[in-house]
Structure 1
Amino acid sequence: MTDQAQTPTVESVSESMENIVLGEDDQPLSKKALKKLEKEREKARRKQEREAREAEERAAREANYVDYSAGSYGQLPLNQSQERTNRCREKIADINGSRLGETVLLRARVQLSRPTGSRLCFFSFRQRTESIQGVVAQDKDTVSKAMLKFATGIQAESIVLVEGVLVAPVEPVKSCTVHDAEISIKKLFVVSPSLDRLPFTLEDASRPEEEYEKEDAQFSRVTLPTRLDNRVIDLRTITNQAIFRIQSGVCQLFREFLLKQDFVEIHSPKIIGAASEGGANVFAVKYFKTNAYLSQSPQLHKQMCICADFERVFEIAPVFRAEDSNTHRHMTEYVGLDLEMAFEEHYHEVMDLIGKMFVYIFDGLNQRYSKEIAAVCRQYPFEPLKYLPETLTLEYPQAVQMLRDAGVDMGDFDDLSTENERFLGKLVKAKYDTDFYILDKFPLCVRPFYTMPDPSRDGYSNSYDFFIRGEEIMSGAQRIHEPSLLQERARAHDINPATIAPYVDAFKYGAPPHAGGGIGLERVVMLFLNVGNIRRTSLFPRDPKRLEP
Structure 2
Amino acid sequence: MRIPIQDVTPETGTAEIFGWVHEVRDLGGLAFFLIRDRTGIIQVTVPKKKASEHVLTAIKEVSRESVVRISGTVKAIDKAPGGRELVPEVFQIISRSESPMPLDVVEKVPAELDTRLDSRFLDARRPRVAAVFTIRSAVIHKVNEFLFSHGFVNITTPKVVAAATEGGTELFPIAYFEKEAFLNQSPQLYKQMMMAAGFEKVFEIGPIFRAEEHNTTKHLNEATSIDVEVSFADHYEVMNLLEDLVRDTYLHVADHCQDALANLEIRDFAVPDCPFPRLNYAEAIAIAQKKIEEPIGYGDDLNSAAERAIGEEMGCHYFIVDWPTEIKPYYAMPFEHDPSICKAFDMMHPRMELSSGAQRVHQHDLLVQQISAKGLNPESFEFYLTPFRYGMPPHAGWGLGAERVVMTMLGLGNIREAVLFPRDRHRLVP
Task: Give the TM-score normalised by the residue count of structure 2.
Answer: 0.96
Q: Secondary structure at the match of 2:106?
A: helix
Q: Provide the residue aligned with 1:188 in structure 2.
A: 91
Q: Provide the residue aligned with 2:259 in structure 1.
A: 371
> Deviations for 1:188-235, whole angstroms, at most 9, x for unmatched residues?
11112213531121122xx5xxxxxxxxxxxx3210110011111001
Q: Provide the residue aligned with 2:14 in structure 1.
A: 103
Q: Tell me, yes or no, if structure 1 residue 394 matches structure 2 residue 305.
A: no
Indicate how the Cα distance of structure 1 residues 385 and 277 shifts in structure 2: closer, same or farther if over 3 A, else same: farther
Q: Provide the residue aligned with 2:102 in structure 1.
A: 199
> Deviations for 1:489-529, whole angstroms, at most 9, x for unmatched residues?
11111211111101011111011111111111111101110
Q: Which moved more, 1:147-156 or 1:499-508?
A: 147-156
Residue 424 of structure 1 and its aligned partner are, at CA, apart by: 0.6
Equivalent runs, 1:289-438 vs 2, <5 Å? 289-344=178-233, 346-377=234-265, 384-385=269-270, 387-406=272-291, 409-429=295-315, 435-438=316-319
C-alpha separation in 1, matches of 2:309 and 2:97: 48
Residue 127 of structure 1 and its aligned partner are, at CA, apart by: 0.8
Q: Tell me, yes or no, if structure 1 residue 89 matches structure 2 residue 89.
A: no
C-alpha separation in 2, matches of 1:146 and 1:130: 26
Aligned residues with identical type, % of pairs: 35
> Deviations for 1:45-68, whole angstroms, at most 9, x for unmatched residues?
xxxxxxxxxxxxxxxxxxxxxxxx
Rg comparison, structure with higher value: 1
Residue 280 of structure 1 and its aligned partner are, at CA, apart by: 2.3
8 Å contact kept, 1:101–1:167? no
Q: Provide the residue aligned with 2:373 in structure 1.
A: 492
Q: Provide the residue aligned with 1:113 in structure 2.
A: 24
Aligned pair partner of 2:117 in 228, 235, 244 = 228
8 Å contact kept, 1:164–1:183? yes
Ranked by relative contact order (alpha carbons within 8 Å, sequence separation 6 or more), the top structure is: 2
Q: Provide the residue aligned with 2:43 in structure 1.
A: 133
8 Å contact kept, 2:207–2:222? yes
Unpaired runs of 5+ residues, structure 1, are 1-87, 208-219, 430-434
Q: Secondary structure at the match of 2:33?
A: strand
C-alpha separation in 2, matches of 1:458 and 1:507: 20
Q: Provide the residue aligned with 1:33 in structure 2.
A: none
Residue 390 of structure 1 and its aligned partner are, at CA, apart by: 2.1
> Deviations for 1:21-66, whole angstroms, at most 9, x for unmatched residues?
xxxxxxxxxxxxxxxxxxxxxxxxxxxxxxxxxxxxxxxxxxxxxx
Q: Secondary structure at the match of 1:316?
A: strand
User: Amino acid of the residue matched to residue 412 of structure 1?
Assistant: Y
User: Amino acid of the residue matched to residue 189 of structure 1?
Assistant: Q
> Deviations for 1:112-158, whole angstroms, at most 9, x for unmatched residues?
111111x3210001012511111111235xx1355324213201111
Q: Provide the residue aligned with 1:21 in structure 2.
A: none
Equivalent runs, 1:202-221 vs 2, <5 Å? 202-204=105-107, 220-221=109-110
Aligned pair partner of 2:168 in 279, 300, 304 = 279
Q: Provide the residue aligned with 2:414 in structure 1.
A: 533
> Deviations for 1:520-546, whole angstroms, at most 9, x for unmatched residues?
111110111011100100110000100
Residue 341 of structure 1 and its aligned partner are, at CA, apart by: 0.6
C-alpha separation in 2, matches of 1:149 and 1:457: 81
User: Amino acid of the residue matched to residue 92 of structure 2?
Assistant: F
**Structure holding more strand per residue:** 2
RMSD: 1.7
Residue 279 of structure 1 and its aligned partner are, at CA, apart by: 2.3
Q: Secondary structure at the match of 1:112?
A: strand
8 Å contact kept, 1:109–1:159? yes
| Length, aligned pairs only | 429
Q: Which moved more, 1:398-407 or 1:388-397?
A: 398-407
